[in-house]
Structure 1
Amino acid sequence: MGKLALAAKVTHVPSMYLSELPGPRQGTRQDAIDGHLEIGRRCRELGVDTIVVFDTHWLVNANYHVNCGPHFEGLYTSNELPHFIANMPFAFPGNPELGKLLAKTANAMGVETLAHDATTLNPEYGTLVPMRYMNQDQHFKVVSVSALCMAHYLNDSARLGWAIRRAIEDEYDGTVAVLASGSLSHRFAQNGLAPEYGFRIWSPFLEQLDREVLRMWQAGEWKAFCGMLPEYAAKGHGEGFMHDTAMLLGALGWSGYDGQAEVVTPYFGASGTGQINAIFPVTPQTGDAIPKAQASSADGYTAISSRL
């Protein structure tokens, strides 16, 4: 019935907002903003009505959660970086119908998921920053999915991604884009060194690791990448333990995916972290490669302890 028209891995660095404001950082993230504008343009071109964001700033300790209120509006200040994002206005419509459908399909596929349509919960900045640039005119409805998953299996996140695709293509009457909103390596600069690393990666190891991953994405080496994702998430300090990436790849077909990533905003450093805007062409898939639920730690469990 419906169509998954676009999939992308996107940055949400708060310095994009600083880049708008008068001061020493003004204009310094225009390349990332332009990447968001281009993704928004392509969504319009493809007839997208709703953008589903896998948000690595929405921390959850149990279940998967879908924020699908009918409308979101307010002022946002980051509790993490209040000197970067302070009183940032946001407003866009939600899509309760799609959000509830996503949760229903995920539960039917064995991934416990709750939809929240009657809620005062506003999205986190992993959703708000991309929507600021892709959705300035409130053209798109927005659904936010929790992707800072503290006690979850990466395999289940991949299955959630596939469930979302099935919900869209089998039961939804519309056209949808999905965004994995999170970084590549996510090792912030040590306290006191943030200004020095404002436009750099924390270590040569992490930069080379990220660049090899990007090469794999552009070459379409998905079987190898999916196999290394749990270890990459741990050793590369993946944001949100890279559950957003597992969801994205799940929606695309996991290791059976046969597309090649298109880089829209070239890889860049931000406060020590590695960032990208990249589009992943959506290709026909059967879902045969989606991993089984509740895998062992060797097959896809990413816990907090794996990063310590």
Structure 2
Amino acid sequence: MGELVLAAKVTHVPSMFISEQEGPLNGIRESAIQGLRRIGDMCRELKVDTIVISDTHWLVNAGFHINAKPEMSGVFTSTEFPHFLNNMEYSHTGDPELGQQIAEIATANGVTTLCHHEVETLQLQYGTLVPLRYLGVGNDMKVVSIAGWMYDADLEESKQVGEAILEAINKSDKRVAFLASGSLSHRIPPNKVVGDYMFKISEPLNQEIDLMVMDMWKKGQTKAFLELLPKYAQDCSGEGGMHDTAMLFGLLGWDKYEGCAEVMTEYFPSSGTGQCNVVFPV
């Protein structure tokens, strides 16, 4: 029987890649990088076989989709931020077996989901690639990437996908980590001023609500958070509609989850958005 051994909400800001480079911005995201490295160390200590990532940079329009192709390697440049994230090499191995199991269970439970493991040209998005880079994951753990930005799906569907992920894990023989890869609030400032917001939030109220949410997570106030989630996602421009977060809590047991989160990287604003690295005990 398989086991979920780690669950987390993680950042994927491309400024972490800049933080590695020589120049005036060297080191600016060191706390975020170190938080992801700690999570990577936890994965190795827990002998994780496969990492499942809900990626809010993968937009889909019809059905839920999974990328689990066996060979995942290449060189990535972001079309959104090519001046931040370019020519990043990566090499990973997919887990078609687990990906297909997730898709079949989710579909059987009423949420149409397709797993792609024979489409060689289907590329990974940076909501998957950036966290894996700083977790220090290469080909030592397998990867399943799930689209975490649904154009016209409600959060209930993503909750059900999260439940399907857990069921698939339990039916497997794998030790699995799940990452919800996305920001908290995600209001990027207007183009004329966005360059001034590398270390600032776009809306001060967003930051106050982000911090309130993180406090709820740390106190194990899951039920209260989930009652807030739809309005939070809408009013604070949650990244990808916060479908990654709905999958995360669906996986954890939704309002029955009582765990108290542990912060790996304290809250920080980045280009107007709210970011963190947080582990949810399982």
AA matched with 1:230: P
1:133 and 2:129 equivalent?
no
Query: Where do 5+ consecutive residues of structure 2 fail to align?
Result: none
Q: CA deviation at 1:135?
A: 3.2
Q: Deviations over 1:206-234 (max 9, x none)?
A: 11010111111111111111111110000
Alpha-carbon distance, 1:137 to partner? 3.8
Once residues 279 and 158 of structure 2 are traced to their aligned partners in structure 1, the CA distance between those partners, rounded to angstroms, is: 20
Once the two structures are superposed, residues 245-264 of structure 1 have per-residue CA deviations (whole angstroms, 9 ceiling, x without a partner) of: 00000000111111011100
In structure 1, the partner of 2:278 is: 278
Residue 242 of structure 1: aligned partner: 242
SS in 1 for 2:192: coil
Distance in 2 separating the partners of 1:108 and 1:173: 21
What residue identity is the alignment partner of 1:273?
T
Residue 68 of structure 2 corresponds to residue 71 of structure 1: no
Partner of residue 261, structure 1: 261
1:149-190: CA deviation from partner (whole Å, max 9, x where unpaired): 101010010011011001101x11110000000000000122
The percent of aligned pairs where both chains have the same amino acid is: 53
Shift of 1:192: 2.2
Q: CA–CA distance in 2 between the matches of 1:137 and 1:115?
A: 22
Q: Deviations over 1:116-144 (max 9, x none)?
A: 00012111000000011113442111110
Letter in 2 for 1:181: S
Residue in structure 1 matched with residue 125 of structure 2 by the alignment:
124
Matched AA of 2:122: L
**Where do residues 88-167 of structure 1 align in structure 2 (5 Å cutoff)?**
88-119=88-119, 120-167=121-168
Q: Does the residue aligned with 2:201 lie in a helix, a strand or coil?
A: coil
CA-to-aligned-CA distance 1:258-297 (integer Å, 9 cap, x gap) = 1011100000010000000000011xxxxxxxxxxxxxxx
| Structure 1 residue identity aligned to 2:238 | G
User: How far apart are the structure 1 equivalents of 2:226 and 2:53?
Assistant: 21
Task: State the secondary structure of the residue aligned to 1:19.
Answer: helix
Q: Does structure 1 retain, via aligned residues, the 8 Å contact 2:232–2:238?
A: yes
Question: Which moved further from structure 2: 236-245 or 191-200?
Answer: 191-200
Give the superposition deviation at 1:56: 0.1
Match status 1:183 vs 2:152: no
Task: Report the counterpart of residue 306 of structure 1 in structure 2.
Answer: none
Which amino acid in structure 2 is aligned with residue 140 of structure 1? Answer: M
d(CA) in 1 for partners of 2:252, 2:6: 10
After TM superposition, the structure 1 = structure 2 runs for residues 181-220 of structure 1, keeping only pairs within 5 Å, are 181-220=181-220
- 1:203 Cα shift? 1.6
The Cα of 1:110 is off from its aligned counterpart by 1.3
Match of 1:4 in 2: 4
1:142 partner letter? V
Where does residue 37 of structure 1 map in the other structure? Answer: 37
Residue pair 2:91, 2:138 contacting (<8 A) in 1 also: no
Q: Secondary structure at the match of 1:89?
A: strand
Distance 1:68 1:9 in 2: 21
Q: Quick one: distance in 2 between partners of 1:160 and 1:86?
A: 32
Q: Which amino acid aligns with 1:37?
A: R
8 A Cα contact 2:94 2:142, kept in partner: yes
Cα distance change, pair 136–178 in 1 and its aligned pair in 2 (3 A): closer
* Structure 1: tracts of 5 or more residues without a match: 283-308
Match of 1:251 in 2: 251
**How far apart, in 1, do the equivalents of 2:85 and 2:194 lie?**
16
Q: Tell me whether 1:19 sits opposite 2:58 in the alignment.
A: no
Which residue in 1 is equivalent to 2:173? Answer: 173
**In 2: Cα distance, 1:131 partner to 1:52 partner:** 11
Aligned-residue offset at 1:204: 1.3
Q: Which amino acid aligns with 2:164?
A: A
Q: How many residues align?
A: 281
